[in-house]
A and B are shown apart, each in its own frame.
Chain A
Amino acid sequence: MPNAINIALIPLLPLAGFLLLGLFGKKVFKNSAGIIGTLILLISAGLAIYTAYGYFFDYGKVNDVYQKLIPLKYTWLEFSKDVSIDMGIILDPISAMMIVVVTFVSLMVHVYSLGYMKDEERYSTYYAYLSLFTFSMLGLVLSSNIFQIYIFWELVGVSSFLLIGFYYDRPSAVAASKKAFIVTRFADLGFLIGILVLSFYSGTLDFNTLIQKLTSPESSELKTAVASSFLGVSALTWGLALVFIGGAGKSAMFPLHIWLPDAMEGPTPVSALIHAATMVVAGVYLVARLFPVFALSAPDALSIVANVGAISALFAAIIACTQTDIKRVLAYSTMSQIGYMMFALGVSKYGGEDGLGYTASMFHLFTHAMFKALLFLGAGAVIHYVHSNDMKDMGGLRKHLPITHITFLLACLSIAGFPLLAGFFSKEEILLAAYQHNAIIYWIALITSGLTAFYMFRLYFSIFWNSPSPRGESRGEVHGEHHGEGGAAMMLPLLLLAVGAVFAGYIPFGHFVSSDGKALESEFHLSFSIAPVALGLIGILTAMWLYKNENEKPAKLAASLSGLYKSAYHKFYIDELYLFITKKVLFNLVARPAAWFDKTVVDGLVNFTGNTTQDISERIKSVQSGKVQQYAIYFLVSAVALALLFIYVWK
């Protein structure tokens, strides 16, 4: 059986690290903060791998079905006998996989930051925040209670906010952190309402009980939830759709994606950890966690997931083709890949062969964490070298940054679905799942995979080939000698992640993670993968043709597609749309009248009271003159007056 203390230590160690570094970092651990944080996380990662190994190969399987274990459960707030907010740990295939992913990527980022962030003023604060994030994310994936997951969900949001705004002296970073927080917070409102709806109908907050009550056809809770409807849609569908809004906000799904590209204002390792590999997949994880309810009881809600995922995947891929900031390209690529995971869940069914999408989604989550973290860390190394985020300042860097070049290439091939690399296997599975269940989504996915190959290689060729930009060249000469690629601390994570990006696909994922816990044999059809691979190759070759050497072709192409290019370059004006709605509509119609009411009526009442008091006191203050004899006269006159009153009036 699992050892509850070991598992509890996985999130609690980073929490201890956060407290230690957050409270004493600035004075005591000014220079050793990075080492301490990394060592703590190393222990945590070791425990996570040990736990996952134990779960998958030792005690997790009973009768060939992976069980949902609750090694630890502590009733925290009890409302009634059945409804309580617990603090517990759930151990099932996806949480076991997630703790490994989170601790591994986080460890890589910790190590990488030793080099990348070493000259920062707020070095220890940075590590404290990283630890806080790791704690929250691990808490999130291990939550056994829907309210517990909500608590950690918000904690994750806070740490993301803190890290995006890490360079708080940059106005753009401050704006980005606010935007991220507000957008996700807005989505979390949906999540909260969804939680309340679900728990109201199921009468519990505990995941296992909730899933059980809302999926077994004879349960009375399910019948009420399906029967009661609001605006013609059943309450259950509403609840799940609202929960999905929360997930979509965190996972940057269309149309709540606007915060993710801006979140790239944070330090690059943070983007790798939070905004690519771990936090943004929380939404996928949430849908996967509630997947039985989605699939068995509310197919409508699941089709929302599928459609939103597919739209986001294509939409983000188109935008990614036009952006010039390398981190923004990667951000849109992340959004696109998460769209893949979402629609893979969306097209999936529960159990058996039809549950392929679920497995594929989790598989893609796993491989994506590897190659996307690698891409971001590689981009970090490039930015570190060039001191710019813009592709125009780069070019011809393959000789200056050999290790980064090779690892970045591997990651690009992996994400483009090049055969036999990690991304190939997971993407194949997703496409297969889509092909089996939804033709339109399959075509969208196919086009997206071609686009993915194109924009990733556009990035690759622009950075590492092409002709060196004057700026990049001079940088290289000026301090190419003494800072080079960034040292062992930065190269080691790249190499390790590259191993992951190449070989993670060979894990027989279906054996471990499937919708119903039974092993799923994933078949491999050679004929099926011809189309995506061919499209991927076309994408790569087009990118090579356009961007390998400096030429006029990209500009001409952009000019010939000017309408599409322009709108994609401006991210399809979604930001402007939001600004229009908030600034023009909401501010003018709601906020201004409210502000007027507050300023005139509410403040007016308070000011009136204050002013009147002041007025009166101004007038009567001369009574207290400081002259003793005057007081004596008051006293005497009052005494006489009282005497007269008592004698003549109140006899």
Chain B
Amino acid sequence: MTQPGLYHLLFISAALFFIGVYGFLTRRNLITMLMSVELILNSVNLNFIAFNKYLWPHRLDGVFFTVFVIAIAAAEAAVAIAIIINLYRSHQSIDVENAEELKY
């Protein structure tokens, strides 16, 4: 077993990112969209970790960033779910296409 290199990790990160983007753009269910956002965030986390480990192994900047991102993602998820619950209360649905009132 060889150890995975930087490029492997970057590949996985990019794949996660685009899966997330794709999910965010195509899914109509808000919960799924939220999950897609989490995928995007995690792809970024993976990126930070990979660069930290392979380019500057003696420093911790990337790790700290990752910890921040995780914390903020948790907060963001809480807020987003609160919004979704409220939306459900007012629209009886969490389909993003039912919430289109805010337009021209």
Q: Do A and B bind each other?
A: yes
- Taking Cβ atoms with an 8 Å cutoff, the residues of A that contact B are 621-622, 624-629, 632-633, 636
Contact across chains for B24 and A625 when beta carbons are under 8 A apart: no
Residue contact B25 to A624, C-beta cutoff 8 Å:
no
The A-contacting residues of B in range 80-104, CB under 8 angstroms, are: 96-97, 99-104
From DSSP, what is the main secondary structure of chain A's interface residues?
Answer: helix
- Are A629 and B103 neighbours in the complex by a CB distance under 8 Å? no
A629 close to B24 (CB less than 8 A): yes
The residue of chain A having its C-beta at the shortest distance from the C-beta of B103 within the complex is: A626
Complex Cα spacing A628 to B21, Å = 13
A622 and B104 in contact, given A627-B97, A628-B96, A629-B96 (Cβ under 8 angstroms): yes
Complex CA gap A628/B97 in Å reads 8
**Could you say which residues of chain A place their CB within 8 Å of the CB of B24?**
629, 632
- A633 proximity list for chain B (CB < 8 A): 25
Docked CA distance A32–B103 (Å): 62
Residue of B nearest to A617 (CB): B104
Smallest CB separation, A635 vs chain B (Å): 10
| B100 cross-chain contacts in A, Cβ below 8 A | 625-627
Of B21, B25, B26, B102, the contact of A626 (CB 8 Å cutoff):
B102
From known contacts A632-B25, A633-B25, A636-B21, infer whether A626 and B101 are also in contact, taking CB-CB under 8 Å: yes
With both chains docked as a complex, state the minimum distance between the C-beta of B28 and any C-beta of chain A, in angstroms: 8
Cα-based distance from A626 to B100 in the complex (angstroms): 5
A626 to chain B, nearest CB (A): 3
In the assembled complex, how far is the CB of residue A637 from the closest CB belonging to chain B, in whole angstroms?
11
Interface residues in B9-58 by Cβ distance below 8 A to A read 21, 24-26
Min C-beta distance of A642 to chain B, whole Å:
16
Which residues of A are found within 8 Å of B96, using beta-carbon distances? 627-629
- Distance between A311 CB and nearest chain B CB, rounded to angstroms: 72
Shortest CB–CB separation between residue B37 and chain A, in angstroms?
10
Chain A residue numbers with a CB within 8 Å of B25 are 629, 632-633, 636
Q: Which residues of B contact A625 (CB under 8 A)?
A: 100, 103-104
Distance of A625 Cα from B97 Cα, bound (Å): 11
A624 touches B104 (CB 8 A): yes
Q: Could you say which residues of chain A place their CB within 8 Å of the CB of B102? A: 626
Name the interface size band of chain B. Answer: 10 to 19
User: What CA separation (Å) do A627 and B24 show in the bound complex?
Assistant: 12
- The list of the 9 closest CB pairs from A to B, nearest first, reads A626-B103, A626-B100, A621-B104, A624-B104, A626-B102, A625-B103, A629-B25, A624-B103, A628-B96
**Taking CB as reference atom, which chain A residue is nearest B24?**
A632
The CA of A113 and the CA of B63, in the complex, are separated in Å by 96
A-B contact pairs, 22 of them (CB 8 A): A622-B104, A624-B103, A624-B104, A625-B100, A625-B103, A625-B104, A626-B99, A626-B100, A626-B101, A626-B103, A626-B104, A627-B96, A627-B100, A627-B103, A628-B96, A628-B99, A629-B25, A629-B26, A632-B24, A633-B25, A636-B21, A636-B25
* A39 CB to nearest chain B CB (Å): 67
Which chain A residues lie closer than 8 Å to B26 at the CB level? 629
* 15 further contact pairs, Cβ within 8 A, besides A626-B101, A626-B103, A629-B25: A622-B104, A625-B100, A625-B103, A625-B104, A626-B102, A626-B104, A627-B96, A627-B97, A628-B96, A629-B24, A629-B26, A629-B96, A632-B24, A633-B25, A636-B21
For B101, the chain A residues whose CB sits under 8 A away are 626
Give Cα A637 to B83, complex, Å.
26
Residue of B nearest to A618 (CB): B104
Instruction: Give min CB distance, A11 to chain B, whole Å.
Output: 62
Q: Which residues of B contact A622 (CB under 8 A)?
A: 104
- The distance in angstroms between the C-alpha atoms of A632 and B25, with both chains bound, is 7
B28 and chain A: residue at smallest CB distance: A629
Return the chain B residue nearest A626 by Cβ.
Answer: B103
Which residues on B sit within 8 Å (CB–CB) of A624? 103-104
Report Cα–Cα, A625/B103, bound state, in Å.
5
Distance to closest chain A CB from B52 (angstroms): 23
Residue of A nearest to B97 (CB): A627
Shortest CB distance B68–A (Å): 22
Q: Tell me the nearest residue of chain A to B104, going by C-beta.
A: A621
A428 CB to closest chain B CB, in angstroms?
A: 87
Which residue of B is nearest A622, CB measured? B104
| A548–B96 alpha-carbon span in the complex (Å) | 99
Q: How far is the CA of A621 from the CA of B103 in the complex (A)?
A: 9
Bound complex: CA of A560 vs CA of B26, how far in Å?
A: 104
Distance A5 CA – B4 CA, assembled complex (angstroms) = 104
A265 to B104, CA, bound (A): 57
Tell me which of B25, B97, B100, B104 has the highest count of chain A C-beta atoms within 10 A of its own C-beta.
B104
CB neighbours (8 Å) of B97 from chain A are: 627
- CA of A624 to CA of B96 in the docked complex: distance in angstroms? 15
Expressed in whole angstroms, the Cα–Cα distance for A121 and B73 within the complex equals 75
**B103 cross-chain contacts in A, Cβ below 8 A:** 624-627
Q: Which residue of B lies closest to A621 (CB)?
A: B104
Of A622, A626, A636, the most chain B CB neighbours within 10 A belong to A626
**Complex: how many Å from CA A629 to CA B25?**
5
- Least CB distance from B83 to A in Å reads 11
Q: In the docked arrangement, what's the CA distance between A636 and B24, Å?
A: 11
A625 closest partner in B (C-beta):
B103
Report A631 CB to chain B, min CB distance, Å: 10
A561 to B98, CA, bound (A): 93
- Looking at the assembled complex, report how far the CB atom of B17 sits from the nearest CB atom of chain A, in whole angstroms: 11
- State the CA gap A629–B21 with chains docked (Å): 10
Residues of A within 8 A of B21 (CB): 636
Provide the bound-state CA to CA distance between A633 and B103, in Å.
16
Closest-CB distance, A294 to chain B (whole angstroms): 73
Minimum CB–CB distance from A621 to chain B (whole Å) comes to: 4
| B104 → chain A closest CB, angstroms | 4
Minimum Cβ distance to chain A for residue B31 (Å): 14
Nearest-CB residue, chain A, relative to B100: A626
- Chain B min CB distance to A261 (Å): 62
Please give, as numbers and ranges, the residues of chain B lying within 8 Å of A629 by CB-CB distance: 24-26, 96
Docked complex Cα distance between A626 and B21 (Å): 19
- Min CB–CB distance B15 → chain A (angstroms): 17
In the bound complex, what is the Cα–Cα distance between A636 and B26 (angstroms)?
A: 13
Closest A-chain residue to B27, C-beta based?
A629
A627: B residues at CB distance < 8 A: 96-97, 100, 103
Report Cα–Cα, A622/B101, bound state, in Å. 13
